[in-house]
Structure 1
């Protein structure tokens, strides 16, 4: 029996109706909300996580306005710089006076590139200035020695979100490419190109993009995280192009000659001469021009922002762009993320809540350790290593204790354009990133700021991060029962712990090094279980499309492990109420999104749609059935032998 038997659940959330938990857990909790909820005009979705996002946005925007107008004094100089950027971005009238002028110099830089040799000579400066390039470098921890930073060879993104969008049977392909052509043509005319030249540039850019499509990885391929680690001796890498000085490209940016580089996409590097050559040179230049405009037009005046935004609206289905003030707020919080995250965390979260959540994490970790120790399919040797890895996980809660030094370099000039300010910040960020090559890996770095409604696990650092903004109802509240909190933040905490043991995280040891710590027998059993998880979700109908089980497997392994562990924790409490537990689990996954955004997520997101996360993983829990009286023949029934549990 396929999972899509869930009545009105797996297949139909766009025309959903309330029902019982026996037929559809998600709709029993969220059905009425699903019928009446309105997606904000400037957003492509609404729901559990997004509701909290909006609340954070509303609170901080009020504070930004108070700071900006002088009603409230700045708490420190770094927040003051963030507010300066906010003011610059929010002054539409002043930006209109600059109009297209700020970007013309950068466009001319591309136009002035004479040939492939000239491009090769200028590639270091182009990279440091943030231009889109058909081959570039990145600096990150060596996945097999995470104390050191190394050079990764990176590849560009496509015009459309994923190579699956280019399939002939993808209904979005022509619609989006047509809108992209229309938008880019208009932008080109706004910076001075006549109609014929603009049309030629767009067509050349799309032709270059079409060369990349069969070569780059799909989102499904990228989801297999460890496949990005392909070491190559630097001397060998430098021979991969007849036309580019790949040695100078790397050495010129890191001021050193590495022994090796890591190739993220070998197929791409092996095809470099087919991508970058004299015949394709003009196509590549046009592609760079188009990429520059599409990436930066929003930083010009309001006319440019509205024009480039037409493509975003076509892509995600939102009805309108954020207003100028929201745009300015998100621009400032994006560049000053740690600064604003620390301010938010200290004001809205505080030390007492931080301590309380740490206690919950300690309890969830203890439950997880017990489950590992009593695991029925792991051998003793692997169990010991798994428990050791669990003990070594570093936990980051709320907000960091210190701010990265780079923020001290950020200076905003309110007399110049937004575009120029962003360009200056970008160069600082890129140079700081390149400078990390000669430094040890900073294991204290936070991947998420305190005001972000999210959480994450980093396999290369073996750490988990829970920003302050997610640590509120419905995920967590002192006013909720223990069962509700375990069904919310408890499951999220255990989800992130489970990432240490998903199909990707399981290949990293306690120090974050990619290292096989499994016996062959145990890993073979683990692969069988992850394949069952792939099979359980693969092909489930959703919103006119289907779920790709391989794309979402790592998050599903974490989901089912997290829910299992949180359920065990809830059962240890004297006030346990499993109905409240499962109901809150379903509540946090409430989701309503546009068709366009749903299509985008199904093609590119490693997470399953929220309603499926709520229903299918509940079906995998044996306790769910007696809690709600679910019996064979009911919509939520799944045969015991088909229920997937790993951790």
Structure 2
């Protein structure tokens, strides 16, 4: 379900429905025990590292470990993420076993939320009953004023249709939080699913219409009425899609920079009472940013011209869409049939405990995060990560100094930005309290709404205030990382700092090759085609000379051209502009981590060759084994369409084929497929 289209430069941070640590130089102690190298048994000995490193590094593991029916991709990296959910489950099982925790405590909130979700017989017995009050409110709509009121009621609980509002940093003064108005309101992944003529999109539209109709039937409509309602929903969403930016445009912050006064917002959409909305939402009547003015113009046309009956149908659909996974089995299964089985290719739903663990983390992640960190992220791990981050930032500093294409003026600005990087590792210093959230064991949907309402209000409470830099956009158990250009921060939750990405018993070569490349990737996001538009203070501001900016663009075009040549099947290839930022991140990340690994060994005894693999080979194999996902064809098609990340094969082979250090480590000949030379070799940083 996609309720709002957050710009990619903000999208890795959680929105309100789910939403100054400096680099320390503490030396991280390593285990006294023997350190292990790469997973030698994962390697496909029949493959050639210089021909297809993705197959070589982990082909045997993928052959012996097919994608589980409930997953859309699989690798040691994804297996680690699922094991992490087992850790979360163990914590939640423990706290949910006790029902007399102090009301409002972290244990009571997370335990009762999880327990209510896990009580599937009770959820099934309730059927649609939990959502009926909100559904009745939608069905009672009679006027346009009622439509506006219902939009506000939806936004209060994180159902961001047909648009959304959230508090984020001001693009030009990131010390302040302002409201950003986002486009939303689509039930399919993005605008192209509604508009493009290719066969796969035509098929998706047919499947979607059938899915929407089936959901209306589950809500009580007869077949004919359900079909008419689905047609109404699709026509409505198609008009919104036509007014929406595409995925490439969404990557450009300058296209979403439209600071607007509150008075002018009212002029953009005179049919909407923004004053009443803002007062009810407790949002100040102040300047804000409208990311897509053309979308708001279409919203105005819908308010002025679309019959109230169509609005009711559209809003009812999005309520059902938002609630489906919290309701009885027929709704859950139908939601999976389209969003899971069709769009990803998964053939089974995840076990209920996993879905409940994910939901608890999404909604109350900092309530369970303290226990997670206590069990799975010791102080020694944080210290070692801090040391790695320090070395990778030094590697970036040296890289900037050594650039032969950048002027001294721009280098000084780049170094200024690098010096203000703020790493956050493991967990926040200040935890959310979730004060006032009421969670019980009677209704999963009611708990979901209560937590969503709190998270939305928490986000809104920041609007009009100085930015609180202690806040995190991901929960501690999250197996992911992000870069926030507006705060110039790189963030690594404890959930990603687990084996095989980060392992206290692994050699430095392994850790730098796995989590080290991830660190370098996030650092380089500050200098990719998006991050390079933000200065040392996080402002959307050009700090480049014209000549240097042209050089930077030309080097980025090399990456665009490289990825345009990568096909997932005949006729379907990567959109180089869509994946440019992530691909620059992988390319620079691998280079920076390699340089930092070498720096980390200065003055130390060389690490040993293990299982016949040199430390250099271990470094690169670690990246191939960490990033080496097997991905279902349906998921690949969805990713190609809208994901700014390339598929795993090309996240492994793409950047490494540009690195001379890789060629040297595996003694690849100059004409090998994994070696790009001359003008074909890409190097941005």
Take 1:409 and 1:331, find their aligned partners in 2: how far apart are those partners?
A: 19
| 1-structure distance, mates of 2:632, 2:150 | 43
Aligned counterparts of 2:597 and 2:154: Cα–Cα separation in 1: 55
Contact 1:204-1:283 within 8 A present in 2 as well: yes
Aligned to 2:32: none
Task: State the shift of 1:374 in Å.
Answer: 2.1
Aligned counterparts of 2:100 and 2:451: Cα–Cα separation in 1: 26
Match of residue 293 from structure 1: 320
Secondary structure of the structure 1 residue equivalent to 2:243: coil
Alignment of 1:457 with 2:483, yes or no, is: yes
Q: Secondary structure at the match of 2:203?
A: helix
Is the 1:226–1:504 contact (alpha carbons within 8 Å) kept by the matching residues of 2? Answer: no
Q: CA deviation at 1:235?
A: 2.2
Q: Is the 8 A contact 2:101 2:107 kept in 1?
A: no
> Quick check: 2:142–2:308 contact (8 Å CA) kept in 1?
no
* Deviation at residue 132 of structure 1 after TM alignment: 4.4
Partner of 1:254 in structure 2?
282
Please tell me whether residue 604 in structure 1 is matched to residue 642 in structure 2: yes
Residue 625 of structure 1: aligned partner: 663
The CA distance in 1 between the partners of 2:680 and 2:556, in whole Å, is 13
1:230–1:262 CA contact under 8 A, matched in 2: yes
Q: How far did 1:300 drift?
A: 1.5
Alignment of structure 1 residues 467-482 onto 2, 5 Å: 467-482=493-508
Tell me by how many angstroms 1:350 deviates: 0.9
Alignment check: 8 A CA contact 1:507 1:515 kept? yes
State the aligned residue count: 629
Q: Which residue of 2 aligns with 1:276?
A: 303
Distance of 1:640 and 1:136 partners within structure 2: 47
Deviation digits for residues 545-572 of structure 1, max 9, x if unmatched?
A: 2100000111111111111111112333
Shift of 1:73: 9.3
**Structure 1 residue aligned with 2:633:** 595
Q: 1:336 to 1:638 in 2, by over 3 A?
A: same
For residues 152 and 619 of structure 1, do their structure 2 counterparts lie closer, same or farther at Cα, with a shift above 3 Å needed?
same
Matches within 5 A, 1:33-432: 33-70=61-98, 77-120=105-148, 123-258=151-286, 260-312=287-339, 313-405=341-433, 407-414=434-441, 416-432=442-458
Structure 1 runs not aligned, ≥5 long = 1-15
Whether the 8 Å CA contact 2:47–2:56 is kept in 1: the answer is yes
Preserved contact between residue 137 and residue 250 of structure 1 (Cα < 8 Å): no
Match of 2:561?
535
Asked if the contact 2:422–2:490 (Cα under 8 Å) also holds between the matched residues in 1, the reply is: yes
Show the counterpart of 1:6: none
In the alignment, the residues of structure 2 paired with residue 96 and residue 377 of structure 1 have an alpha-carbon distance, to the nearest angstrom, of: 64
Change in 2 beyond 3 A, CA 1:401/1:520: same
1:336-358 residue CA offsets vs partner (Å, 9 max, x unmatched): 11222332122111111111110
Structure 2: distance between partners of 1:135 and 1:60: 33
Structure 1 residues 481, 543: closer, same or farther in 2, change over 3 A? farther
Report how far residue 123 of structure 1 moved.
Answer: 4.2
In the TM superposition, what are the counterparts of 1:551-570 in structure 2 within 5 Å?
551-570=578-597
How far did 1:242 drift?
A: 4.4
1:575 matched to which residue of 2? 606
CA distance in 1, matches of 2:357, 2:106: 15
Q: TM-score, normalised by structure 1?
A: 0.92
Structure 1 stretch displaced more, 201-210 or 217-226: 217-226
Query: How do 1:501-520 residues align onto structure 2 when only pairs under 5 Å count?
Result: 501-520=527-546
1:373-427 per-residue CA deviation (whole Å, 9 max, x = no partner) reads 222122222212211211111111111122124x23323122x311122122222
Structure 2 CA distance for partners of 1:480 and 1:118, relative to 1, 3 Å: closer
| SS, match of residue 476 in structure 1 | coil
Distance 2:581 2:72 in 1: 25
Which residue number corresponds to residue 7 of structure 1?
none
**What is the deviation of 1:51?**
1.3
**1:433/1:70 Cα in 2 relative to 1: closer, same or farther (>3 Å)?**
closer
CA deviation map 1:254-309 (0-9, x unaligned) = 35321x22111122123334333233443332111111101102111223222322
For the Cα contact (< 8 Å) 2:256–2:290, is it kept in 1?
yes
Residue of structure 1 aligned with 2:512, choices 476, 482, 486: 486
> 2:161 touches 2:318 (CA, 8 Å); kept in 1?
no
SS in 1 for 2:305: coil
d(CA) in 1 for partners of 2:337 and 2:310?
24
Distance in 2 between the 1:121 and 1:160 partners? 25
Larger CA deviation: 488-497 vs 465-474: 465-474
- Is the partner of 1:449 in helix, strand or coil? coil
Within the alignment, does 1:646 sit opposite 2:684 as a pair?
yes
Q: What's 1:438 paired with?
A: 464
- Once the two structures are overlaid, the 10-residue window that deviates more, 495-504 or 132-141, is 132-141
The verdict on how the C-alpha distance between 1:139 and 1:469 changes in structure 2, with shifts beyond 3 A counting, is closer
CA distance in 2, matches of 1:488, 1:72: 43
Query: Cα distance, 1:179 vs. partner?
Result: 3.2
Tell me, yes or no, if structure 1 residue 526 matches structure 2 residue 552.
yes
- Root-mean-square deviation (CA, aligned residues, Å) is 2.4
Does the Cα contact within 8 Å between 2:272 and 2:300 map onto a contact in 1?
Answer: no
Contiguous gaps of at least 5 residues in structure 2: 1-43, 608-614
Partner residue of 1:547? 574
> d(CA) in 1 for partners of 2:117 and 2:157?
21
2:77 and 2:500 in contact (8 A); partners too: no
Residue 27 (str. 1) matches residue 58 (str. 2): no
**C-alpha contact (below 8 Å) 1:165/1:173 kept by paired residues:** yes
Selected match of 2:523 from 497, 520, 525 = 497
- CA 1:242–1:230 in 2, change beyond 3 Å: closer, same or farther? closer
